[in-house]
Structure formats: structure tokens, C-alpha cells
Structure 1
Amino acid sequence: MGLNDEVGRRLKQLRQDEGLSLSELARRSGVGKGTLSELETGRRNPTLETLYALTTALGRPLSAVLDAPDPDPGTTARTGGVSGSAVTAVLMERYEDDEAATDVFRITVAGGATQESAAHVPRTTESLMVLSGTAVVGLRDAPQTAGPGGHAHWPADTPHFYSAPEGEVQGVLFVRYPKGAAPRD
């Protein structure tokens, strides 16, 4: 089963588990009903922005629709990557405890590009550890710059962005979703 099929199957299952129609999830997420239908049937390639819109509307972390991380920590080949307008993210780890779920992604931000990210569920936070390049990330009114070995941390329950103004950025992104946070309606 390919990425499109697997993501579609998981999206449909989450939607049905929440008792939502295609129309209602489309309304809550701002994703067109036709697009959602094509995603659920594996006929459309999911983008990072679209998947975040849908999982946020469902009150779930992005990892809920991506391939599970490889259980062998020695394995370097990973699946489950998804791309947006500037960011490509590969799910590396998912950790869950009584308080929150944390997704860990290996990300690449394309050089000279910027990607806007919509607000996630309330109380979600993001932290980026930069491996190479210089990233400008976070909130528009409080951007943070981080170079190799540096990091940035920001609330992700408000619109935020990722930028690589000086060339490609490689990093590790931690997205922490608190338990019991209500989806945005």
C-alpha cells in the first residue's frame, strides 16, 4: 500500500471515528469536499498543509495519518514523509504519555523559501533544532533565527512560519500536542 492509500485510509478512519461526514470535516478544516474525498480514496497526493488542516480539525497529531516510525533505531531509511510548499517532513518518532503526544520529524526547508503554517490545536508547541543552514521560524511578530546547533521554540496554536533565507535548512522538529485539546471548529 502506497503513502497516498495509507494516509487516505487513516484519514477516513479518523473521520468516521469522530462521527463526521465528508462535508463536516471539509467545513471544519477548510479543505474542499472533493479534495478530501480524493485523499481518502488515495487518488490525491497529500500536502503537509492539507494534512495539518485535517488533523487539526480532527484534534489529532499529524502522526495519526502518517506511517509509523520504523521500530529499529539503527534503520536510516524512513517512510511517511510529506511535503509542503517549502518544508518536507519525515516522521522519525512518536512519543505519548499521559499529558501529551510528541511527533519528532526530520525536516528540510528549501533554500530561499517560506512556508506558512496554520494554527494547530490549542496549547500545541513546536521546537526546531537546526542541524545545518540558518532557519527563521516561529511567529510573524516574533521571528526567531537559529543556525547549526541552535534551536527555536514557539507556540504552534497560532499561525507560524518556516523560512530558509540563506539556503537549505536541515533540522529536527518536535511538535507537542497536549492531551484533551479540543479541535478548532
Structure 2
Amino acid sequence: MPEDKPTRDVSPRAAVARRITELRRAQGFTLSGLASRAGIGKGTLSELEAGTRNPTLETLYALAGPLGVPLTGLVGDGTGHSVPDGVVDARLLTVRTHDDGGTTEVFWLTIAARGTRVSPPHRHGTVEHLRVVRGTACVGPSGAEVLVRAGESSSWPADTGHTYAARDGSAQGVLTIETPPGGP
């Protein structure tokens, strides 16, 4: 008679839950401690770790900072993986970890015609680059955003709060996030 073994949940949500829990424990954070540092509720973090709550892009970025990992450290580095939040949809094209421990993540970014997304600060020294291929985006450090039209690019420090919005309809482009080696 075959032994009954529970099947491991391999859904993206369950994988994110496992990564958050493993990173939190490895770094010695309590649920309350990480939730506080990330600026999210302890209940939200508990539900994320239990796999009962879908993570938003904003929450993942808020957790990635204190955990000292790039976004792909939480969602995985599978090409084509998409993390939407209603305003921004970031679909992973590629990720590279460099010999020094830094990472380069490349996303196909779609910014919806409605709303504005404010991203929390990433690890110190992180820089984002956006090349707009369709539409017009308003991006950059909060309070110092710039308009970037199709065919144009912009770069900004991502270790402070920064904003994504589209003007005159949706916008699409290639977003590159360069995260330096080291801790948060």
C-alpha cells in the first residue's frame, strides 16, 4: 500500500510564502519585527507566509527591502513570471546574479492608464532604468518625477520612494533594476 504523503503546494503564491518565511527566519526576524520594518500589518505578513493571501507588488517590494533581496528573491527568477498590482504589471524577462552578489533584473513593464504606484525604497544603491516603448510614463523619485515618452529613457535612484504613472493612456517599456551586493 503506498504511503500517504501530502503533496507540496507548488503554486506561485505558495512558493512566495516559502521564500518569505525562509528569508525572515534566516535573518532572525520575528513576524512583528519584519512587518514593522516593512511597514505592513503583522496579520498581512502572517497570511502571506501561510499562503492564504495573494501578495501585491507593493507588499513584495516593502518586504524585499528589509530582507535585503531584489524582487526576484521573493517571487523567483522564472522567466515570464508576472506580478500585477492593478497599476503596474512587471513580467520578468531575465535576472542575473553577478560574481559580487549584485543583481540585474529586467522586466517588461506595463503601467495602466489609471492610478499611480508609489514603490517603497529598495536596497541602498539600487538604480532603476526605464526605456519606454509605447505611451508616456511619469517616473522617478517621488516629488521629482519626469515624463518619459516612447523612445526615451530615464534612470533614477531606487533607494528612495519612487513613482510610476502613465499619461494619456497606458505605457509599456523595459525596466532594468540594478541592485548592488550587500545587505539592506
TM-score, normalization by structure 2: 0.89
Partner deviation per Cα, 1:79-120 (whole Å, 9 max, x = no partner): x31122411111221112116211111111001321111111
Contact 2:140 2:156 in 1 (8 A): yes
Runs of 4+ aligned structure 1 residues displaced above 6 Å come to: none
* 1:99/1:65 CA distance change after superposition, 3 Å: closer
Letter in 2 for 1:172: V
Task: Describe the SS at the equivalent of 1:164.
Answer: strand
1:141 positional shift: 3.5
1:20 positional shift: 1.4
Segments of 5+ residues of structure 1 without an aligned counterpart are 71-77
Segments of 5+ residues of structure 2 without an aligned counterpart are 1-9
Task: Describe the SS at the equivalent of 2:75.
Answer: coil
Query: What are the within-5 Å matches in structure 2 for residues 29-40 of structure 1?
Result: 29-40=38-49
Instruction: Tell me the C-alpha RMSD between the 2 structures.
Output: 1.4
Contact 1:113 1:165 in 2 (8 A): no
1:151 positional shift: 0.8
Contact 2:121 2:159 in 1 (8 A): yes
Q: How many residues align?
A: 174
TM-score, normalization by structure 1: 0.89
1:69 positional shift: 2.5
Answer with 1 or 2: which has the greater Rg: 2
Mean alpha-carbon deviation: is it higher for 136-145 or for 1-10?
A: 136-145
1:117 maps to which of 116, 119, 138: 119
For 1:93, the equivalent position in structure 2 comes to 94
Q: Equivalents in 1 of 2:144, 2:59: separation in Å?
A: 25
Task: Describe the SS at the equivalent of 1:142.
Answer: coil
Partner deviation per Cα, 1:131-154 (whole Å, 9 max, x = no partner): 111111002343222122211100
Q: Equivalents in 2 of 1:5, 1:90: separation in Å?
A: 19
